[in-house]
Amino acid sequence: MITQSDRMNILFVSDDDLTKSVIYDIHVMAEGLSLRGHMVYVVDCKRDSPDWFRTIEENMSRVYTDSRVGMFRYTMLTFPIFTENLRSFITKFIYAFSSCYKVAGRVVKEKKIDVIVIYSVVNSGLPAIHLGRRFNIPVVFRNIDMLNRLNANPTIRNAVAFFERRVYPRVDKIFALTPKYAEYVVGMGGRDSAIDVLPFPVEIQEPEAAPSSLDDDFPEVCRRWVGENRQMIVFVGHLYNFSGLAEFLRELPEIIKQAPDARLLLVGDGPMRGELETVISGLKLEEYVFITGLQPFKLMPKYINMAAVCINAYPVSGDMKDLFAAKVIQYLACGKATVSSALPGMTSMLAGESCGVVYVNDAAAMARELISLFKSPERRDRLGRAGLDYVRRVHSRERVIVKLEDGLKDVIEKKRMRGPRARLAT
Domain boundaries in the chain? 4-201+397-418, 220-394
**314 and 323 Cβ atoms separated by less than 8 Å:** yes
Query: Residue type for 151, please?
Result: N
Q: How many CB atoms lie under 10 A from the CB of residue 65?
A: 8
Euclidean distance between the first and the last CA atom of the chain, given in angstroms as a whole number: 40
- Kindly give the pairing relationship between strand 69-76 and strand 115-118: unpaired
β partners of residue 234: 265, 310
Per-position b or e across 289-300, b if 16+ CB within 10 A of its CB: bbbbeebeeeeb
pLDDT of the residue at 383: 97
Helical spans, DSSP H, in 168-249 = 179-187, 220-227, 245-249
pLDDT of the residue at 76: 72
Q: Would you give the distance in Å from CA 330 to the centre of its chain?
A: 11
> CA 296 to CA 217: how far, in whole Å?
10
Q: What is the mean pLDDT of residues 316-336?
A: 88
Look at 76 and 178; give whichever has higher pLDDT.
178
pLDDT of the residue at 422: 41
> CA 417 to CA 95: how far, in whole Å?
36
pLDDT of the residue at 323: 85
Look at 414 and 4; give whichever has higher pLDDT.
414
Helix-then-strand count for the chain, H and E: 15, 14
> CA 243 to CA 366: how far, in whole Å?
14
pLDDT of the residue at 23: 87
Give CA separation, 219 vs 164, 213, 293, 294, 359, in Å.
42, 12, 10, 12, 31
**147 and 184 Cβ atoms separated by less than 8 Å:** no
What percent of the chain stands above pLDDT 90? 70
pLDDT of the residue at 423: 41
Q: How many CB atoms lie under 10 A from the CB of residue 254?
A: 14
Residue 247 per-residue DSSP state? H
pLDDT (tens digit per residue) in 341-371: 999 989 989 999 999 999 999 999 999 999 9
Per-position b or e across 148-161, b if 16+ CB within 10 A of its CB: bbebeeeebbebbb
Give CA separation, 391 vs 148, 203, 208, 229, 374, in Å.
29, 9, 16, 28, 23
Helix (H) or strand (E) holding 341: strand 338-341
- CATH number of the domain located at residue range(s) 4-201+397-418 in this protein: 3.40.50.2000
pLDDT band, very low/low/confident/very high, at 209 (cuts 50, 70, 90) = low
Average pLDDT of the chain to the nearest whole number: 90
pLDDT (tens digit per residue) in 45-95: 887 665 655 678 889 999 998 999 999 998 875 554 445 565 666 667 787
Most trustworthy range by pLDDT among 60-64, 212-216, 283-287: 283-287
**255 and 370 Cβ atoms separated by less than 8 Å:** yes
CATH topology of domain 220-394: Rossmann fold (3.40.50)
Longest dimension (CA), the chain: 69
pLDDT of the residue at 417: 86
- Say whether pLDDT at 192 is over 60: yes
Domains 4-201+397-418 and 220-394 share a fold: yes
Q: What is the mean pLDDT of residues 16-33?
A: 92
> CA 261 to CA 253: how far, in whole Å?
12
pLDDT (tens digit per residue) in 121-149: 988 999 999 999 999 999 999 999 898 88
pLDDT of the residue at 425: 36
Helix (H, G, I), strand (E, B) or coil at 100: helix
- Say whether pLDDT at 204 is over 80: yes
- Say whether pLDDT at 219 is over 60: yes
